[in-house]
Structure 1
Amino acid sequence: MFLAMSEYSQYHLVDLMRERIQKYQNKIALRYSAKEAEDISWRELGQKVEQLALALVGAGLEVQGKVAIFSRNMPEWTIADLAVLWCRGVTVPVYPTNTAGQTAYILRDAGVRLIFVGEQEQMDAVVELQQHYPNLEYVIALDSSVNLRGMKNACYLETFQKAPVSMEQRKELDQRLANNNLDDLLTLIYTSGTTGEPKGVMLDYRNFASAIKLHDARLTLTSDDVSLCFLPLSHIFERAWTYYALYRGATNVYMRDPAAVQTVLATVRPTVMCSVPRLFEKVHAAILAKVATAKPAQRAIFNWSLKVGETALARKQKGKPNGMILDLSLRIADKLVFSKLRNGLGGRMRFMPCGGARLEPDINLFFKSIGLNVIVGYGLSETTATVSCYDADQLNFGTVGTPLPYVHMRIGEENEIQVKADTVMKGYYNKPEATAEAFTEDGWFRTGDAGYIDDHGNVVMTERLKDLMKTSGGKYIAPQMVEGTLVRDHFVEQVAIVGDARKYVSALIVPAFSALEEYAHSVGVKFENRMELLRHSHIQEMFQQRLEALQKELARFEQVKKFTLLDREFSLEMGELTPTLKLRRKVIMERFSKEIEAMYPGRN
């Protein structure tokens, strides 16, 4: 049974934020990760949002009018977002790495007339796209250091907000605030997709009201928490999490450059942070690489500590007490090893929601064993992010947890995971056919992910249906599963599996160059550049041996038979990754077609 509408009345996002502004006043709401002196209190947040909302009304923003935000993470992103919602407008986030062409498509499809831009890269893209989309009336730069390139319709945020405010504007804003409605569209989120043109996911206030209430039933977040805004706000995961963190009164700390996360973690010392598996994979690989080069005694202490942590976890999972000896061992392991590892993530982390892709069970086990609570979950833009996740103490590795309360999940044809809940989108904007295809005849949302529900009610995701590859021998391969197996090696940075309509599976592998170069020096392999290093017979043989060891648990038809080492990473800038760091397989297969064909000699 779904929640009744009356149960949502106190959860309209704008009403919630206004209540928090009144409640917390001088408490810090938003913080710049690099400029603590510029913390923004709840009272200041309310003033900034109202001032900008009045300016938007004065600029002619209509009820349910679309406003784009094209920027990396910064407090001004959230201020602009909330100001649009104050006006009953609709926020259209655009990934900061999007090209001018990609951005123009979104603006055209949504009918955007006003856009906020973050930094110079986004400003320059807007200058370029104006020839393709001349309908922009306002371009507002959130960062005052941006060069406006002489655009007549561009100005800085401070300038835009200083426009005189009339009594009519104030009355209009008050009227809009009084008439807010759970059925209003809150946002259009354009899915990045790995193929095809993006689709605008329509999410309303009821979707977010439900998401907030359901998270209350599963998580414990308080006004004492500090959350690091690490993933792009243009993605549903970080955006929905930011709303939830602010609703709970936590301080939200913004970092512009995700590549600087290690440095920022040490200074901000957050208590919570949502992330994607790639961060944990990289941290895990870096730790193991450091242990591999440590002294024998240090390696022994690390391995002993990890075994102690795993033993304690196993007993916890069975509901058994540790006992005096294990408790003492755990305290020693924590002092010698675990506390130092946790300090690498700031030292205060209470829990870390993780989603967006599969997190390998052994990596999850590792972080749980050292005392970091990674809460694995599953969701999509179309479901307002999370639909299932771990309970606080759940240890069912390999699953994505149980459905949140009032979220219904079932397994349909082709083992597809299907969802019915009040968090499911209205549909795709301007795309009735795509909307119809996204739902079953009886109204369940089709996720496009395959999996099953185990005997304990946990959801297990096995593969992305559209990503499945079929070899020329008729065998189906789940590339993400194979890639997840290989990327656990600390010498492997990225992997793209090849196998569709091929005799066997091959792989494009991007090595972890810092670890590989250190290894090469240690064994006396001489090289002048990366390509010379990658072609060296010793390196090729080493990778072959490691792949064979990694793939022992895979079926023979799933195992990589040949591989090519690449001298650069797959990148966002070259269109090889989506903004959430998923592989764009079509682009990669085309760009590296020469290297791929070389792994299949004699193929016509």
Structure 2
Amino acid sequence: MSPLDYHIVHRIQHQIARFGSRTALRYLQDGQWRDISWQMLGEQIHQLSLALLAQGVGVQDKVGIFSPNMARWTVADLSTLFLRGVTVPIYPTSTAQQAAYIINNADIKVLFVGEAAQLEAAIQIAAECPQLEHIVLMDGTCDQTDHPLVCDYQQFVAQGGDGEESELQARLADCRMDDLLTLIYTSGTTGTPKGVMLDYANIAAQLQGHDQKLALSEGDVSLCFLPLSHVFERAWTFYVLHRGGINCYLTDTNAVREALVEVRPNVMSAVPRVYEKIFSAVQAKVAKAPVHRRALFHAALAIGHRMAACRQQNRRPAVWLNIAHKAADKLVLSKLRDVLGGRIKFMPCGGAKLDAGIGRFFHAIGINVKLGYGMTETTATVSCWDDIGFNADSIGTLMPGAEVKIGENSEILVRGPMVMRGYYKLAEETAANFTADGFLKTGDAGEFDAQGNLFITDRIKELMKTSGGKYIAPQVIEGAIGKDSMIEQIAVIADARKFVSALVVPCFETLENHARELNIKYHNRLELLRHSQIIAVVEKRIAELQKDLAKFEQVKKFTLLPKAFSMDEGELTPTQKLRRKVIQQRYHQQIEAMYHENPRQDSPKR
């Protein structure tokens, strides 16, 4: 195909004409999964495009989508692109004021809202957004409102007509690779969100690169549960549709476990925390099993590791290993894969570094996790694990077209057709984030090995320096401790401090089960967290988990928190990254207490 053939609008048009009655999208309604065919998808895009034209949406005008995942999210996205508009996603968990900032900064004229929470927020800030002309409610089950800007989805669609047809066809005929496709606002761990400008050439580069790296087939089923407002799931959805796959939309992220069994996906994008939770749940279940079942599990897993090593080294396994693996797979490994639906071909993983041991575990049970590295500014993937010869400690080898070099302070620098055009309305900040020769500064420190595997060694922007002059990479420590089933969240404290401490949110389900086993009586969570036996259990876990860290990196004291860090409180970004400044301000008293008490400093204390 020519480069213009990878224009996502051309790809969708091609698939609509080619596949007709075959399923394109699948969504959950009233407990039942319902299909939208390619032909139906084409009709819905066409009708909504005409409606947007009827409301005066011009070339490169901005259309916002403020909604959880749903099939209409993608319909609204593609309809905007079909008329050369620019889609601007807003995280569904954003506050009214966060949404108002993006609506005004991006000059959004039409805003699609998903459910009651987004509708309420949009109405609340409508008066602050003078350029906003229409608020379109996509969820037909929500109560209607008489607000002058609000319109039901079906009513909005009905406003389009044949009068706009010639204009739509003219815009489709004038599709350009250098048109702006989307503005994606990066939340960042501090500061004001910045609109990342991505164009059609950026998306096309990723479609081409993924075609060379992945084996996604026509009809493969993908479960879409990460937020479409993030570049990872959105770019992946484009790729699924580009390959003729079936995209299944899950609005309620708490229902992933059930959806996996019902949908039985072939592929699914996920963040490391998903794998960590599955790994922790398996380990906790095995720990409670009878001795003979534990022995069977560990023997089967050892065989799985041997077989995975053969696959990765592209060598034929010994006859005895083949026989042993068939038995191990039947008795143990296949049952672990069934938790994910039993049909997984591979699973893209991104958003953060995956613990190497967890990555190897999934490959041992027969789940091909494809860890990738990238940013919103690089249209997601810059590197990913290969099927053969990948290094689980790395973040993979480079995607086709990606050029990476190691710059000053070992910073990973990226150049290529997937790199953003810049930040919207922020020329100076754009210039500051690029080198003189056009490489994007990632803020990550890294290195290559002789085989071309890329490794992240530090996060430059988040390095902490103790009062003793030692540099601390908090993600390394948080990754080591956070993979335990008893730890739900952890925030490391070290900057300008004499030693490393941590705020720890335990997994209360695991903790409460442990309390029952120890016959511990308590009235509430706070009382449970203060119990000496519980503190001792967590202390022992942390000590074991960090034993491979250098002494100066190890957590010396910790405080158990009764409440999880949340986006609602401003402690997490929409991509679940810690907002460290907010956390340190909110828990200032608890942090100071850890540094002003005088217990032994050679082991963690609450």
Please confirm whether the aligned pair reaches a TM-score higher than 0.5, indicating the same fold: yes
Shift of 1:539: 1.0
State the partner residue of 1:3.
Answer: none
For 2:593 and 2:15, locate their aligned partners in 1 and report how far apart those are by CA, in whole Å: 60
Query: Residue 312 in 1 paired to residue 296 in 2?
Result: no
Shift of 1:113: 1.2
State the SS of the aligned residue for 2:108: coil
Q: Of 154, 162, 180, which aligns to 1:158? A: 154
Query: Residue 115 in 1 paired to residue 96 in 2?
Result: no
For 1:365 and 1:116, locate their aligned partners in 2 and report how far apart those are by CA, in whole Å: 41
Query: Following superposition of structure 1 onto structure 2, how do residues 109-148 of structure 1 map, counting pairs within 5 Å?
Result: 109-148=105-144
State the SS of the aligned residue for 1:30: strand
Query: Residue 599 in 1 paired to residue 594 in 2?
Result: yes
The answer (yes or no) to whether the contact 1:495–1:508 under 8 Å persists in 2 is yes
1:174-232: CA deviation from partner (whole Å, max 9, x where unpaired): 11111111110000000011100000000001111111011101001111200000110
Shift of 1:149: 3.3
For 2:345 and 2:23, locate their aligned partners in 1 and report how far apart those are by CA, in whole Å: 20
Shift of 1:36: 4.6
Shift of 1:315: 3.8
State the partner residue of 2:69.
Answer: 73
For 2:360 and 2:305, locate their aligned partners in 1 and report how far apart those are by CA, in whole Å: 7
For 1:372 and 1:47, locate their aligned partners in 2 and report how far apart those are by CA, in whole Å: 37
Query: Residue 197 in 1 paired to residue 192 in 2?
Result: yes
The answer (yes or no) to whether the contact 2:312–2:387 under 8 Å persists in 1 is no
Query: Residue 568 in 1 paired to residue 570 in 2?
Result: no
Query: Following superposition of structure 1 onto structure 2, how do residues 7-46 of structure 1 map, counting pairs within 5 Å?
Result: 7-34=2-29, 36=32, 38-46=34-42
Mark the CA change 1:247 to 1:316 in structure 2 (over 3 Å): closer, same or farther: closer
The answer (yes or no) to whether the contact 1:207–1:424 under 8 Å persists in 2 is yes
The answer (yes or no) to whether the contact 1:11–1:209 under 8 Å persists in 2 is yes
State the partner residue of 1:529.
Answer: 524
Deviates more, 1:451-460 or 1:71-80: 451-460
Mark the CA change 1:323 to 1:134 in structure 2 (over 3 Å): closer, same or farther: same
Mark the CA change 1:405 to 1:298 in structure 2 (over 3 Å): closer, same or farther: same
How much is the aligned-residue C-alpha RMSD, in angstroms? 1.3
Given the two structures, how large is their TM-score scaled by the length of structure 2?
Answer: 0.97
Mark the CA change 1:49 to 1:373 in structure 2 (over 3 Å): closer, same or farther: same
State the partner residue of 2:90.
Answer: 94
The answer (yes or no) to whether the contact 1:377–1:390 under 8 Å persists in 2 is yes
Q: Of 334, 338, 342, which aligns to 1:339? A: 334
State the SS of the aligned residue for 2:374: strand
The answer (yes or no) to whether the contact 1:389–1:400 under 8 Å persists in 2 is yes
State the partner residue of 2:424.
Answer: 429
The answer (yes or no) to whether the contact 1:123–1:146 under 8 Å persists in 2 is no
The answer (yes or no) to whether the contact 2:206–2:418 under 8 Å persists in 1 is yes
State the partner residue of 1:503.
Answer: 498
The answer (yes or no) to whether the contact 1:33–1:268 under 8 Å persists in 2 is no
| One-letter code aligned to 1:120 | A
Q: Of 57, 64, 70, which aligns to 2:53? A: 57
Shift of 1:116: 0.2
State the SS of the aligned residue for 2:127: coil
| One-letter code aligned to 1:264 | A
1:435-479: CA deviation from partner (whole Å, max 9, x where unpaired): 001100111111111111111101111222111111011111000
Query: Following superposition of structure 1 onto structure 2, how do residues 381-392 of structure 1 map, counting pairs within 5 Å?
Result: 381-392=376-387
The answer (yes or no) to whether the contact 1:226–1:250 under 8 Å persists in 2 is yes
For 2:459 and 2:145, locate their aligned partners in 1 and report how far apart those are by CA, in whole Å: 43
Deviates more, 1:367-376 or 1:304-313: 304-313
For 2:401 and 2:392, locate their aligned partners in 1 and report how far apart those are by CA, in whole Å: 23
| One-letter code aligned to 1:265 | L
1:294-319: CA deviation from partner (whole Å, max 9, x where unpaired): 11111111111111111222344444
Query: Residue 103 in 1 paired to residue 99 in 2?
Result: yes
For 2:102 and 2:538, locate their aligned partners in 1 and report how far apart those are by CA, in whole Å: 43
| One-letter code aligned to 2:551 | R
Query: Residue 370 in 1 paired to residue 390 in 2?
Result: no
State the partner residue of 1:486.
Answer: 481
The answer (yes or no) to whether the contact 1:51–1:161 under 8 Å persists in 2 is yes
Query: Residue 581 in 1 paired to residue 547 in 2?
Result: no
For 1:523 and 1:445, locate their aligned partners in 2 and report how far apart those are by CA, in whole Å: 53
For 2:93 and 2:101, locate their aligned partners in 1 and report how far apart those are by CA, in whole Å: 14
Q: Of 282, 304, 325, which aligns to 2:277? A: 282
Deviates more, 1:347-356 or 1:516-525: 516-525
The answer (yes or no) to whether the contact 1:123–1:148 under 8 Å persists in 2 is no
Shift of 1:394: 3.8
Q: Of 438, 444, 447, which aligns to 1:449? A: 444
Q: Of 310, 325, 332, which aligns to 1:330? A: 325
State the SS of the aligned residue for 2:128: coil
1:397-435: CA deviation from partner (whole Å, max 9, x where unpaired): 111110011211111011110111101000000000110
For 2:135 and 2:264, locate their aligned partners in 1 and report how far apart those are by CA, in whole Å: 35
| One-letter code aligned to 1:154 | V
The answer (yes or no) to whether the contact 1:351–1:374 under 8 Å persists in 2 is yes
Mark the CA change 1:322 to 1:166 in structure 2 (over 3 Å): closer, same or farther: closer
Query: Following superposition of structure 1 onto structure 2, how do residues 174-323 of structure 1 map, counting pairs within 5 Å?
Result: 174-323=169-318
For 1:343 and 1:572, locate their aligned partners in 2 and report how far apart those are by CA, in whole Å: 32
Shift of 1:164: 5.0
The answer (yes or no) to whether the contact 2:313–2:388 under 8 Å persists in 1 is no
State the SS of the aligned residue for 1:553: coil
